[in-house]
Structure 1
Amino acid sequence: MTGRATVVTGVGLAVTGLRTAADLLSTDPVEPGAGPSPDLTGRHMRHKDRASRLALRAVEQALDDASLAAESTGREHTTLATVVSSNFGNLDSVCEFTDRIAEHSTAALSPLGLPHVSSNAIAGWIAIRHGLRGPNLTLCSGRTSGLDALVWAATLIGAGRADAAVVVGVEPDTGPVRSLHGPGRRVLDGAAAVILESEAHAANRQAIVRALIDGGCHSDSVDQVVAAIRTAARPPRLWLTPADVLPEFGSPIRVLDLTRRLGECSGALGVLQCVAAVAQLDGGDRNPVYATCSDPHGDEAVTLQLRAPHAAASVSAGSRVGNHELDLEER
């Protein structure tokens, strides 16, 4: 993926019905409207769409978790990038503006509200709120978008464009999103955030490393990932992947599909998977954890591997992002 090792030093979660990252590993049903809701109040939350408010809450937790909040010692010497993954994030703002144009013409629009319809609005609010002056971008690449965002963040760090990156996956449960998915289709209402850093930067500030990202691969199908896992010298105990494109695996590996509990996660899925993988490693798992996102037809799959920082051996993907080969053998 890059020439510099990338590590996870913080995670944050703002998902209706969940309290902690470890809750992602549970199979208990999350009933719509039940359980705790993220606190989206405060002056900095005003005049923002729901996706931006969810993302801001998750980022706040992740920065605190990584000891990279604005008041943290040494933060002023850190260049932080912002990478957001969301396919439907500010759809409600876009629909509101288009409805207003249809009813009253463009003369009814307020110039102050136009920035809200930009697909990069969420990333912009995050950077403004926390003073993040590094590269700032948003990915809207479908179901693989969350893992794509993590790969892009690692690439920015590896290229020396940033010391660390705030990676956010967010999808809101709003009227326009529900209408787009159709009646009876459950959708995620929440955000997940991950702090990535170069290994050297984390060591210099004596940060607690929660996980190492060992590789990112694009493959033509989930079948290629299945074949690689079957022959891996050190197979995972946990594989995070949507089950609707997964063939029968027939092994003791636990396959966890977050969409079964949370609904359609779209662009947030990959970042949620990363947070769940960190929770698994926090629990003492020494084996790598795999996260895979794929399109609904299974024509493309993106896979990341995460491992505990103190694991005895490194597990690395043999191909770089963009190749169509997968080699997950232990080195």
Structure 2
Amino acid sequence: MTLTSTTTGTTVVVSGAAVLLPGTDTVRALADGPSPGGAPVEPADHVGRKGLRYKDRATQLGYALTAAALKDAGLLGEDGLTVPAPSTGIVASSNFGNLDTVARALDTIREETVTATSPMDLPNASSNVIASSAAIRYGLRGPNLMVCNGETSGLDAVHWAATMIAAGRAERFLVLGVEPDNDVVRRLLGGRHAIDGGAALVLESAAAAATRSATVRAVLGPYSRGAESPDGPGRRWELPGHLGSASGACGVLQVAAAIGWFDSGRREPVRAVTGGADHDAGADLLLLAPEALRPR
């Protein structure tokens, strides 16, 4: 079985992961299945209150997830990043993201003209606000990309991060998948709620991870994209329905759950699958246990 997730022959690994969902803040708990009734995530409990004011819910959650994943990978210390800033990029995935900010700004413009809009709101109306805000706060000076293309968005974000690593754009990427829950999102979802949280991963080339003696948590295998996701070997994980729509965070959560299984000692491959039959396209990513890196 090939270990390369790209056509250039580069092996990409996961060296860090974080999860923040109501009642769930570890990858193992995610893999085992979060229980109903968990308390909402409070970003200030994870990153403090400084810098959260005037930021939308998705960006606040993104701050907390980014910090947790970077720390888990050994990349964030008391003085900031422990690696050169240009060596680390970010790819964020969110389909609902700052929708509430955009809707509020549009309502204000329609009802009171543009002069009534808040100078605090308008910067947050950028489609890239989650990725750019996390990059600015944590000094990630590598490539910066926001993906918001439906059900496959999270796995696409993982794929694009791996592709840019293989292309030499940066040695590692923070991959963030987050979806907020609010009235605007619920109207879009026909009354259903979103997860109000998400997951974050740190992807690195195997060589970069080895150079800094990082712990490899999983190895990315082949990735495919098409009208239907193909069947294949590998355990699969699904988010419990009571948590709501994961949308753009779904694929990132699936990878985080796979890491939870590997961390608990399970070694069978895991298949992350999003989209497919009921959607326009599907995405399929195979994840292998860390031992897949060892010579045979």
- Contact 2:14 / 2:216 at 8 angstroms: preserved in 1? yes
Indicate conservation of the 8 Å contact 2:267/2:289, yes or no: yes
CA separation of 1:36 and 1:94: change in aligned 2, threshold 3 A: closer
Residue 263 of structure 1: aligned partner: 244
Look up the match of 2:54.
47
Question: Secondary structure of 1:239's match?
Answer: coil
Q: Percent identity?
A: 42
Per-residue CA deviations over 1:147-167 (Å, capped at 9, x if unaligned) read 000000001100000110000
- The 5 A counterparts of 1:111-260 are 111-183=119-191, 185-222=192-229, 225-226=230-231, 229=232, 235-236=233-234, 238-240=235-237, 257-260=238-241
Q: Is 2:88 the partner of 1:107?
A: no
Instruction: Give the distance between the partners of 1:203 and 1:210, measured in 2 at CA.
Output: 12
| Shift in alpha-carbon separation, 1:158–1:50, aligned structure 2, 3 A | same
CA shift digits 1:245-286 (9 cap, x unpaired): xxxxxxxxxxxx215242111100000111001111111122
2:284 aligned with 1:294, yes or no?
no
From 267, 287, 290, the counterpart of 1:309: 290
CA 1:142–1:22 in structure 2 vs 1: closer, same or farther (change >3 Å)? same
SS of match in other structure, 1:306: strand
Q: Could you say which structure has the greater relative contact order, defined with CA pairs below 8 angstroms and 6 or more residues apart?
A: 2
The one-letter amino acid paired with 2:257 is: A
- In angstroms, what is the RMSD of aligned CA positions? 2.1
Specify the SS of the correspondent of 1:30.
coil
Equivalent position of 2:28 in the other structure: 22
Tell which deviates more after alignment, 94-103 or 37-46: 37-46
Unaligned 5+ runs, structure 1: 230-234, 241-256, 315-330
Offset at residue 312 of structure 1 (A): 7.9
Asked if the contact 2:81/2:138 (under 8 Å) is kept, the reply is: no
Instruction: State the distance in 2 between where 1:73 and 1:174 align.
Output: 32
User: How does the TM-score come out when normalised to structure 2?
Assistant: 0.90
CA contact (8 A) 2:228 2:277 kept: no
Distance across 1 between alignment mates of 2:293 and 2:170: 29
TM-score normalised by the chain length of structure 1? 0.81
Change over 3 Å in CA distance of 1:98–1:295 after alignment to 2: farther
CA distance in 2, matches of 1:179, 1:261: 18
Distance in 1 between residues matched to 2:135 and 2:275, nearest whole Å? 29
The structural deviation recorded for 1:27 is 3.9
Cα deviation code 1:114-168 (max 9, x no counterpart): 2210110011110010011111010011000000000000011000001100000
Deviation at 1:111, TM superposition (A): 4.1
Secondary structure of 1:10's match?
strand
Return 5+ residue gaps in structure 2 as ranges: none
**Alignment coverage as a number of residue pairs:** 286
Tell me, yes or no, if the aligned pair for 1:15 and 1:38 is still in contact at 8 Å.
no
Q: Distance in 2 between matches of 1:312 and 1:197?
A: 13
Give the Cα separation in 2 of the matches to 1:161 and 1:60: 22
8 Å Cα contact 1:74-1:205 kept in structure 2: no
Secondary structure in 2 matching 1:13? strand
